[in-house]
């Protein structure tokens, strides 16, 4: 209980509301003052009630007055009357907004450029085709595609207009603005007419000419030189205000737009040459005829009533604004000359960064806001009107703003928003809720409590050693902790220690881990509440490219963008959101990210903010501008996804935000690459804002559970060297305290066995044979005999068999379901990604409860397991049957590897990667402090992959054998060319790129790996072939040279010395180096198909095009398809879904599909409750509960699949 003082400076109705709420908790001392004693929970409830009723007239401060010093606890409403420490301002005077730090002269210049781009950005909407498009939408309530996007037409018009302004006497134009209008009337049609087609055969040539003009002239490398930099930058903003240009390959990536006559996925120019569109909208053709093509290049001069129309340049006000903006631009150019690069894309510089992240952002935000405020008109055109967009009134489409009104509004707003976000000191990007240190000390007492468990006391040392260094300066953090060491609290402890004002997003890849982390933040050892914490789980269903292409609307649409960005979500959290840009964001989904000081979410929610291909993604950039990032379990992402995530690190640096990596097995290569990307962004931030004092000194902090290395603060310049030392200390500790021993199990199955009749249908080609399953069951029993607990004369254990593919996990689960063993009761549980969401959720709860060895109260970990209902029931069955063993066998995939707080007795793994092996081992003996006896294993690995054990590689062509190791990205797809050589290959000889990467890492490459003969050695013995590479022992020679070798995180962290002795770790290191950092000797094909992650931070052209974001995606393009039950179809007698299912592709399009739902044969398989039973009382979750993720190949062949309850989506036959 503490003593609190509440002071209100509210106005009007807000004061009456505050009086009512405050008087319910505290004693009233005066007209606007209350005091009393409250518990922590009562304070939280009072503050939440006040926040819910707060508005722009609210101003409330709560002080903790328990001690001698008065401490501000919370501030609700506007902050004009109070400083950050709670001091009251007796008088307020309006003054010019202060700039952020010493904002460079580049910033005012960019502000005026954004304004000029706003006045010009939609000139292309004044064409016959675009106005026909609006008419079509009014008539049929449908969109209409364009052969040429209006952004391209706008650029073709703006280019000569800017040249005219550069050559004209600006003062004369200001004296007579009509001169500009007259020039536009006479000249703006000409640059469009030169690209008109003469006949149908000419369409492709003219489209290619337009693409060539923009790529080789308007936006060419030479156009980005100093003398034409401003014009080119404005034209780039005009072109990119809906979508970034894709980029073209001209002896390397260049800014430009491609065109392909055969179609493809190009955004700006579509394939042409079809029959076109007639009066009937049902006869829509994807191609275009000559008339439609040329109408994109014809300005409106007459209406259908043959009346003159009003183009923007016919309005003197628009002409004045353009001339005024251009005049001011030229004056600011002189002041900014020192800051402008000689060429904006030739070398790395902050100009391209500011243009991409600031100039374009202000323009797009202005476009959104003006479009959201458009005024509805009628269904009939006003005489002579040229419209920019349409809207709906009571579901009826009507015309909205005229083009002149829209351009004027966007131009003015763009300049305003740029200043408010990037020039003024009280930036809109920094005005989101945060938790001050005083607030955290008051409302989050768990952060200051010391842990009684010695395993977690390193977190207290982190807080104690770093709190003296707290500031709001950005820092790069790296938190390394072994599985079960408490990284979740360690992450937030680092933020708490380093930041005076704490606002951060914890971004995670797995949905289940997001929920687990959110629950941990609510636990007493942290103590957050829904008032401060938001949870967003899910991912966008729309593929960015496809959605952008199929969006046939007339402008930036807020409602549509909200669905695209956060289409599939679960949200929890309570807060208000009062912000000048609030209208940009969906009230239910997107605002939760901005209105809470701490957010836990799937990384999909914020990743678009670091991609920025579509204009809608720029809205999420505002979130990245105003929050620090904790990227949890970074090693869980394949290296291709890490390339995308490094863009986020760069963006965080650009806006001066802190960035924290958290993992158990992130290699020094990964750590250094992310730091380099972040620090490159920080260098741009310093150039752009030139912040004084401590703000110029970003820091790096290395945190671990290792004694003596709990918290190391280092200078950024020393990061590489200190990181190596830090990792070495972690490796040494992991080696000494390794709790896992691994051995091999041979499933070669030389002896063939016939399965019993009940299992005959299960054993087919491409699956493990019955004999191999028999050997596997024998190994499961042997593992059980080594590691179990006893009760009532029965031994009990729980373990898992982790496969690389879902089908093999399903196959084993179905086999064990009917497996008969005279002395063992086997209870299989099938767990993988291709199950209904509600089944996965039930299985996750079951596994978490069954495999928790943490003591609670008077019960030990073993007692908790033995008292679990499933264990009690199994022991009773075993006693009844007279068997001595009860074994829970989890048949699973890599879904179990990361973030599962489970403690298993043993595990059997299919070989895939070193990281996968270490992470899987982290689920074994996770809650136990003892070490296994010397020479005794608790983890086993198959001697070959299942594909190799089934002889499947014999059926593959030679070029496809590499796919045996491609499950987790060890081998990459081939580069184009004659040899089709993959970047990283497990075959011998090594690919050139593999050799280059290993050379740069300092890994020795024996002659045998290069396919070279040594003197006196026969060729066949010198060259190792694919068969050798299929052997687990061969690719991990150092690990399996002795029985029961130790497995620990150091296996992932150490740099291999010799590639032959540690072939798999060597190739993993080469892959990380090649994809994240690139090599010193890259080739053109490599840079085009696989641009390294650091290229985005180091090369401006990647930030000005969408090429990097298209080639380096967070998710595989073949993912993102889902299947869910149509709840209208009902359920069968067992409560399982029946009838039609809905298959949803990446665009959100739905097709119906009949799919049979079956039940497995009666046996021991653990089955969750039915969908109907699960949804009882929660019908609002019907769609999400039945959702099953699909791959693209499955989406196209759903007729070949059925669903088996407790087993998942299964291929028939």
pLDDT at 6: 95
Q: Is the pLDDT of residue 1018 over 60?
A: no
* 8 A C-beta contact, residue 890 and residue 827: no
| List of residues 6+ apart from 418 with CB closer than 8 A | 107, 110, 111, 114, 115, 358, 359, 362
Vertex 392: Cα angle to 391 and 396 (nearest 5): 135
Q: Which CATH superfamily is domain 740-944 in?
A: P-loop containing nucleotide triphosphate hydrolases (3.40.50.300)
* Fold match flag (2-77 vs 740-944): no
Q: Distance between CA atoms of 561 and 559, rounded to whole angstroms?
A: 5
Six-digit token pair at 1095? 């290229």
Q: Distance between CA atoms of 347 and 858, rounded to whole angstroms?
A: 66
Decide: residue 145, CB within 10 A, 0-12 exposed, 13-18 middle, 19+ buried: middle
Q: Residues 1028-1031: contacts with CB within 8 Å, 24+ apart?
A: 1028/988, 1029/965, 1029/986, 1029/987, 1029/988, 1029/1063, 1030/944, 1030/945, 1030/948, 1030/953, 1030/964, 1031/943, 1031/944
C-alpha dihedral sign at 1198, 1200, 1203, 1208: negative
Percentage of residues in the chain having pLDDT higher than 70: 87
Q: Could you identify the residue written with the tokens 């001698």?
A: 68
- pLDDT tens digits, 447-472: 888 888 888 899 999 999 998 888 88
pLDDT at 696: 54
Q: Tell me which residue of 757, 428, 407, 433 sits closest to 581, measured CA to CA.
A: 428
Q: What is the pTM of this model?
A: 0.88
Highest mean pLDDT among 20-29, 49-58, 516-525: 20-29
Poorest-confidence range of 73-77, 618-622, 856-860, 876-880? 856-860
Q: Is the pLDDT of residue 265 over 70?
A: no
Domain boundaries, the chain: 2-77, 106-426, 429-438+488-705, 740-944, 949-1111, 1121-1211
pLDDT at 782: 97
- pLDDT tens digits, 1-14: 889 999 999 988 88
pLDDT at 281: 36
pLDDT at 441: 85
Q: Tell me which residue of 734, 686, 600, 657 sits closest to 477, measured CA to CA.
A: 657
Q: Is the pLDDT of residue 84 over 90?
A: no
Q: Where is pLDDT greater, at 167 or 691?
A: 167
pLDDT at 1061: 87
pLDDT at 961: 45
Its CATH architecture, for the domain 2-77, is 2-Layer Sandwich (3.30)
Poorest-confidence range of 13-22, 570-579, 1045-1054? 570-579
Average pLDDT, the chain: 85
Q: Where is pLDDT greater, at 544 or 707?
A: 707
| Options 1.10.357, 3.30.70, 2.30.30, 3.40.50; CATH of 429-438+488-705 | 3.40.50
Local confidence band at 550 (pLDDT 50, 70, 90 cut-offs): very low
Q: Is the pLDDT of residue 1081 over 80?
A: no
| DSSP string for residues in 667-720 | -HHHHHHHHHHHHHHHHHHHHHH---GGGG--EEEEEESSTT-SEEEE-GGGHH
Highest mean pLDDT among 185-194, 257-266, 286-295, 962-971: 185-194
Q: Where is pLDDT greater, at 287 or 610?
A: 610
pLDDT at 153: 97
pLDDT at 887: 97
pLDDT at 1029: 61
Local confidence band at 850 (pLDDT 50, 70, 90 cut-offs): very high
Residue 859's SS3 state is strand
Cα 853 to chain centroid distance, Å, stands at 33
- Distances in Å between the Cα of 586 and the Cα atoms of 555, 563, 1050 are 17, 9, 45
Q: Distance between CA atoms of 1056 and 1065, rounded to whole angstroms?
A: 7
The mean per-residue pLDDT over the stretch 81-104 comes to 67
The mean per-residue pLDDT over the stretch 997-1003 comes to 91
* 8 A C-beta contact, residue 148 and residue 297: yes
Residue 361: phi, psi to the nearest 5?
-65, -45
| DSSP string for residues in 81-122 | TB-TT-PBPS-----PPPBSTT--THHHHHHHHHHHHHHHTT
């Amino acid at each position: 209980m503490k003593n609190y003082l509440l002071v209100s400076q509210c106005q009007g109705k807000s004061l009456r509301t505050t009086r009512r709420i405050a008087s319910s908790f505290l004693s009233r001392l005066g007209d606007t003052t209350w005091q009393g004693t409250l518990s922590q929970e009562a304070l939280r409830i009072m503050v939440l009630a006040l926040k819910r009723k707060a508005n722009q007239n609210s101003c409330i401060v709560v002080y903790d007055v328990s001690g001698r010093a008065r401490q501000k606890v919370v501030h609700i409403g506007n902050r004009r009357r109070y400083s950050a420490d709670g001091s009251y301002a007796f008088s307020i005077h309006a003054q010019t907004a202060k700039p952020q730090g010493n904002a460079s002269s580049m910033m005012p210049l960019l502000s005026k450029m954004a304004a000029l781009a706003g006045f010009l950005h939609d000139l292309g909407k004044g064409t016959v085709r675009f106005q026909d498009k609006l008419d079509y939408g009014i008539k049929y309530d449908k969109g209409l595609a364009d052969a040429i996007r209006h952004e391209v037409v706008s650029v073709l018009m703006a280019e000569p207009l800017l040249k005219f302004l550069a050559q004209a006497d600006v003062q004369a134009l200001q004296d007579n603005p009509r001169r500009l209008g007259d020039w536009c009337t006479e000249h703006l049609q000409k640059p469009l007419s030169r690209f008109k087609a003469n006949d149908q055969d000419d369409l492709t040539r003219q489209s290619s000419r337009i693409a060539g003009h923009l790529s080789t002239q308007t936006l060419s490398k030479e156009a980005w030189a100093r003398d034409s930099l401003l014009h080119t930058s404005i034209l780039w903003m005009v072109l990119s205000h809906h979508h970034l240009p894709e980029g073209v390959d001209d002896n390397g990536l260049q800014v430009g737009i491609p065109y392909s006559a055969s179609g493809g996925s190009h955004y700006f120019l579509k394939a042409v040459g079809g029959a076109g569109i007639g009066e009937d909208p049902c006869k829509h053709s994807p191609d275009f005829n000559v008339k439609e093509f040329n109408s994109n290049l014809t300005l409106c001069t007459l209406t259908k009533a043959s009346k003159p129309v009003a183009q923007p340049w016919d309005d003197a006000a628009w002409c004045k604004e353009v001339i005024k903006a251009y005049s001011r631009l030229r004056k600011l150019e002189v002041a900014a000359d020192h800051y402008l690069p000689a060429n904006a894309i030739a070398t790395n510089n902050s100009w391209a960064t500011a243009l991409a992240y600031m100039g374009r952002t202000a323009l797009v935000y202005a476009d959104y806001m003006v479009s959201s405020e458009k005024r509805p008109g009628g269904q009939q055109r006003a005489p002579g009107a040229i419209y920019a967009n349409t809207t709906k009134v009571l579901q009826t489409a009507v015309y909205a703003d005229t083009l002149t009104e829209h351009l004027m509004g966007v131009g003015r707003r763009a300049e305003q928003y740029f200043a408010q976000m990037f020039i003024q000191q009280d930036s809109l990007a920094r005005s989101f809720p945060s938790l001050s240190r005083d607030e955290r000390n008051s409302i989050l007492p768990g952060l200051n409590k010391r842990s009684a468990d010695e395993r977690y006391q390193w977190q207290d040392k982190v807080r104690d050693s770093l709190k003296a260094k707290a500031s709001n300066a950005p820092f790069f953090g790296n938190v390394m902790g072994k599985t079960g060491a408490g990284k979740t609290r360690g992450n937030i402890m680092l933020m708490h220690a380093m930041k005076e004002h704490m606002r951060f997003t914890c971004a995670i890849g797995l949905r289940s881990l997001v929920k687990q982390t959110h629950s941990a933040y609510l636990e007493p050892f942290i103590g957050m509440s829904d008032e401060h914490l938001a949870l967003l789980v899910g991912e966008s269903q729309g593929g960015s490219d496809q959605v952008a292409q199929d969006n046939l609307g007339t402008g930036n649409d807020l409602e549509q963008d909200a669905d695209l960005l956060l289409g599939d979500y679960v949200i929890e959290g309570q807060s208000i959101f009062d912000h000048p840009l609030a209208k940009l964001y969906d009230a239910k989904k997107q605002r939760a990210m901005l209105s809470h000081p701490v957010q836990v979410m799937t990384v999909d929610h914020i990743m678009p903010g670091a991609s920025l291909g579509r204009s809608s993604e720029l809205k999420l950039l505002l979130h990245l501008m105003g929050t620090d990032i904790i990227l949890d379990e970074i090693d869980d992402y394949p290296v291709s996804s890490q390339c995308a995530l490094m863009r986020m690190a760069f963006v965080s640096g650009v806006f001066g935000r802190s960035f924290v990596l958290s993992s158990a097995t992130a290699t020094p290569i990964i750590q250094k690459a992310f730091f380099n990307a972040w620090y490159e962004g920080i260098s741009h931030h310093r150039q752009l804002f030139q912040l004084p004092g401590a703000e110029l000194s970003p820091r790096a902090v290395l945190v671990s559970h290792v004694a003596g290395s709990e918290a190391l603060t280092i200078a950024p310049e020393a990061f590489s060297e200190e990181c190596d030392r830090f990792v070495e200390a972690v490796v040494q500790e992991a080696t000494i305290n390794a709790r896992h021993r691994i051995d091999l199990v041979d499933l070669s199955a030389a002896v063939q066995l016939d399965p019993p009749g009940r299992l005959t249908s299960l054993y087919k080609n491409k699956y493990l044979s019955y004999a191999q399953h028999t050997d596997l069951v024998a190994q499961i029993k042997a593992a059980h005999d080594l590691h179990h607990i006893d009760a009532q004369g029965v031994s009990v254990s729980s373990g898992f068999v982790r496969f690389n593919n879902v089908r093999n996990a399903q196959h084993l689960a179905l086999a064990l379901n009917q497996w008969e063993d005279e002395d063992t009761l086997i209870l299989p549980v099938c767990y993988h990604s291709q199950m209904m969401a509600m089944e996965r959720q039930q299985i996750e709860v079951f596994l978490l409860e069954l495999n928790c060895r943490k003591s609670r109260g008077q019960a030990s970990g073993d007692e908790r397991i033995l008292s679990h209902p499933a264990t009690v029931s199994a022991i009773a069955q075993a006693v009844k049957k007279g068997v001595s063993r009860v074994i829970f066998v989890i048949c699973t995939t890599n879904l179990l590897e990361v973030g599962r707080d489970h403690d298993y007795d043993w595990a059997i793994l299919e070989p895939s990667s070193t990281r996968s092996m270490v992470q899987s081992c982290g689920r074994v003996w996770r809650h136990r402090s003892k070490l296994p006896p010397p020479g005794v294993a608790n983890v086993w690995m198959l001697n070959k992959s299942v594909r190799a054990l089934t002889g499947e590689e014999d059926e593959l062509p030679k070029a496809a054998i590499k796919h045996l190791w491609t499950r987790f990205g060890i081998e990459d797809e081939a580069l184009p060319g004659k040899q089709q050589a993959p970047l990283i290959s497990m075959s011998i000889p090594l690919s050139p790129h593999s050799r280059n990467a290993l050379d740069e890492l300092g890994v020795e490459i024996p002659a045998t790996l290069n396919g070279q003969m040594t003197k006196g050695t026969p060729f066949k013995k010198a060259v190792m072939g694919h068969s050798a590479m299929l052997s687990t022992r061969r690719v991990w020679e150092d690990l399996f040279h002795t029985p029961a070798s130790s497995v620990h995180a150091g296996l992932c962290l150490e740099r291999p010395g010799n590639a032959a002795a540690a072939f798999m770790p060597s190739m993993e290191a080469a892959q990380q180096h090649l994809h994240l950092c690139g090599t010193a000797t890259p080739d053109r094909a490599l840079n085009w198909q696989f641009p390294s992650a650091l290229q985005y931070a180091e090369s401006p052209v990647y930030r000005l095009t969408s090429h990097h974001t298209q080639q380096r995606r967070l998710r595989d393009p073949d993912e993102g398809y889902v299947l869910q039950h149509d709840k209208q179809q009902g359920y069968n007698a067992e409560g399982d879904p029946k009838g039609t299912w809905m298959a949803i592709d990446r665009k959100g399009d739905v097709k119906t599909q009949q799919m049979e739902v079956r039940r497995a044969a009666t046996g021991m398989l653990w089955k969750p409750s039915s969908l109907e039973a699960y949804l009882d009382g929660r019908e609002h979750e019907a769609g999400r509960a039945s959702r099953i993720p699909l791959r693209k190949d499955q989406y196209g062949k759903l007729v070949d699949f059925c669903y088996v309850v407790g087993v998942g989506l299964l291929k028939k036959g």
